[in-house]
Amino acid sequence: MSMLFFYALIGVGLFTLGLLALVVQPHLLQKILALNVMGSGVFLLLVALGGRSQPVVDVVPQAMVITGIVVAVSATAMALTLMLNLSRSSPGAQLPEDQSADS
């Protein structure tokens, strides 16, 4: 039973790690990856804690997570397209405020 909590804690760890990367990394691709990692973290927490119900595992969080994954992929696709547009108009795919810090 403590394994589920271990996975949940890993989920929380991934969430906060992604948040840190989101803050620290200037490159947009890194930020998008960070967002995906945070998403996986949350999903891990959801499903892991779902397993606490006896005889059969709680299915509703799993349905939520499937919806979440699909939403995450569409968000990532949009983010990548935006990043490409941005890198077309200004070198180095970065937000303007990070740009100035970097160059």
Partner 1 sequence: MIAYLPPVLLILTVIWPLLLAIPLLNRYIQNAPMLALLPAVCLALYPGVIDYNVEWILLGSGIELNGNNRWILLVSVMIWASSALIDKSHGEGFTHSSNSSFYFLAMGGQLAAILSTDLIGFFSAASLMGYAFYGFLNSSIEQQYRRYWNLYLVFLVVADLALFEAMIMAVSATEITRFNVLRWIISDTQNAQIYVWMTVTGFALKAGIWPAHRWIIAAYTGTPLSVKILLFGVPLMTALFGLLKWLPNWDNSLSIPGSVIMLWGLMTAIYALIKLLQNRQRVLIPLWLIFLVSGVFLSVIGAGFVVTQDWSDYKSYFFISLSLGGFSITALIIYLTIGQNQQHLSAPFSSAGQTEDTTQAQQRENKVLTLLSANYLVTRLQYLQVAAFQLVDVTRQRAVNQLNKIMDEPGWTVAITFFMLFILIIVSLSL
Partner 2 sequence: MGAQLIQVDWAVVLIMLPLSAAMLGFLLPGMARNIGLLAALLILFTVVGLGWQLTQTGVYSHVAGGWLAPLGIQLHADGFSLLMLATSAIVGVAVSIYSTGYFKAADDQRFWPTWLLLWAALNALFLAADVFNLYVTLELLGLSAVTLASLTGSKDSVSAAMRYLLSTLLGSLAFLLGIGLLYHQYGSVDIAILSERVNDSTVSWAALGLITAGLALKTALFPFHFWLPPAHASAPAPVSALLSALVVKASFYILLRLWLGLFDFQQDSTVANMLGILGATAVLWGSIQALRQIRLKMLVAYSTVAQIGYLFLAFPLAQTGGNRVWYAVAYLMLSHALAKAAMFLVAGNMMLFGGHDRIVNLDRVVQRLPVTVAAFGLAGVSIMGLPPSGGFIAKWLLLEAALAQGHWGIAGIMMLGGILAAAYVFKVLGYAFIPSPVPHQAVSVPARMQWMALLLATLAIMAGFVAQPLMQLIGIGALFDSTGSMP
Partner 3 sequence: MEAVGLWQSAFDLMLGFSLFGLAWRMLFCADLFKSIVLFITFGLLMAIAWVRLEAPDVALAEATIGAGLTGALLMSAFAKLRTLDNSLKSGQPLLPRPRLHVINFWIALLFTVLLTGGLAYAVLSLPSHSPGLSDAVMSQLDSSGVTHPVTAVLLNFRGYDTLLEMAVLLLSIQSVWSMAGMSDAGEVHTSPVLNVLIQLLSPVLILVSAYLLWVGAHAPGGAFQAGSILGAAGVLLVLSGRPLFNLKKSWLIRLMLVAGPAAFIALATLTLINEGQLLKYPVANAANYILLLETLATVSIGTTLLALFVGSQTEAVQQDQSHQ
Tokens 């070198």 appear where? 91
Rule CB under 8 A: say whether 49 interacts with partner 3: yes
Binds partner 3 by CB under 8 A, chosen from 75, 95, 96, 100: 75
Nearer to partner 1, 19 or 75 (CB): 19
35's contact among partner 2, partner 1, partner 3, none, with CB below 5 to 8 A by partner kind, is partner 2
Tokens 């039973």 appear where? 1
Query: DSSP alpha helices (H): ranges in 25-59?
Result: 28-50
Rule CB under 8 A: say whether 34 interacts with partner 3: yes
Cα–Cα distance measured from residue 33 to residue 18, given in angstroms and rounded to the nearest whole number? 8
